[in-house]
Amino acid sequence: MRRFLLVAIVFGGASGAHAADLPDFPALRGTYTDVPSSTRINWQGFYVGGQAAYGSTNSKPIPSNTDLQDTFVPPTGFSYSWATLGPAHGLNTGYGGFGGYNSQWDDVVVGIEGNYLHGGIRAQTSGTANFGDPPFVSTTHSSVSINVTDFGSARVRAGYVIGCFLPYLYGGVGAGSQTVERNISASPPPIVGWSSDAKTKLVYGYSFGAGVDVMLMAGFFLRAEYEYLRVTSTIESNVNTARFGIGYKF
């Protein structure tokens, strides 16, 4: 009996010493309350990407090509009458790129971005008129095309992280190249006349909109956004576009 008590005391002491040496894991204490917090997507840093756009353009050109029309001299017995030009409209596609930097505080992300679009802003308007009595009936045609072939802007963005999604709002200012092309024609053809004109100049504008970036993996993300752009010049243009892109955050 004494031997049995001695053995029990020895093994009990050894077990207590061994348990004291074990790490203090919650599971060994009979509870597990220290659950790791969910992983937050890291949007901090520089990023670049490419994009495609589709949208509509509305412009308000001068209602007539009077300077061109005044140069047309009709053949003997004919006269020309010209239609008034209305607002210009267009549906367009374009492509370009973007790049910027995000700064992140918990779930709030703010940043700056440069955005560029090529070939995505074009509006046209035209008019046709008939004048006179047979056999001296004349037909005229007049048209204007407003093309902003390139436009780059600087934006300020602010967003909020929701899982792998980053919805955001933005606003910015920018500049681009605008070409106004004007053409007129008449039948029967004029004796003399100046039938076309094209001028290109630098224009300015501002934009604002909303979008969402979706993180995929290894820094790659998808983008979808809406932009309203107003180009201010002698001929103003209002542009609404939907843009889709893919980018990489370093």
Name the β-bridge partners of 153. 115, 174
Name the β-bridge partners of 54. 93, 242
pLDDT reported for residue 15: 44
Domain that holds residue 201: 42-249
Domain of residue 123, CATH code: 2.40.160.20
3-state SS class at 105:
strand
Question: 233 in a domain, yes or no?
Answer: yes
- Tens digits of residue pLDDT in 17-74: 444 444 443 433 333 334 344 578 999 999 999 999 999 999 988 899 999 999 999 9
d(CA 103, CA 162): 16
pLDDT profile of the chain (250 residues), mean per 10: 40 43 40 48 97 94 92 95 94 96 97 93 94 93 94 97 97 95 96 95 96 96 97 89 97
- Tokens, residue 202: 């630098």
Question: 240 in a domain, yes or no?
Answer: yes
Question: 173 in a domain, yes or no?
Answer: yes
Question: 137 in a domain, yes or no?
Answer: yes
Question: 22 in a domain, yes or no?
Answer: no
Q: What is the mean pLDDT of the chain?
A: 87
Q: Which residue blocks in 36-181 are alpha helix, DSSP H? A: 66-69
pLDDT reported for residue 234: 81
Question: 150 in a domain, yes or no?
Answer: yes
Q: Please count the structural domains in the chain.
A: 1
pLDDT reported for residue 81: 95
Is the whole-model pTM more than 0.95? no
Question: 30 in a domain, yes or no?
Answer: no
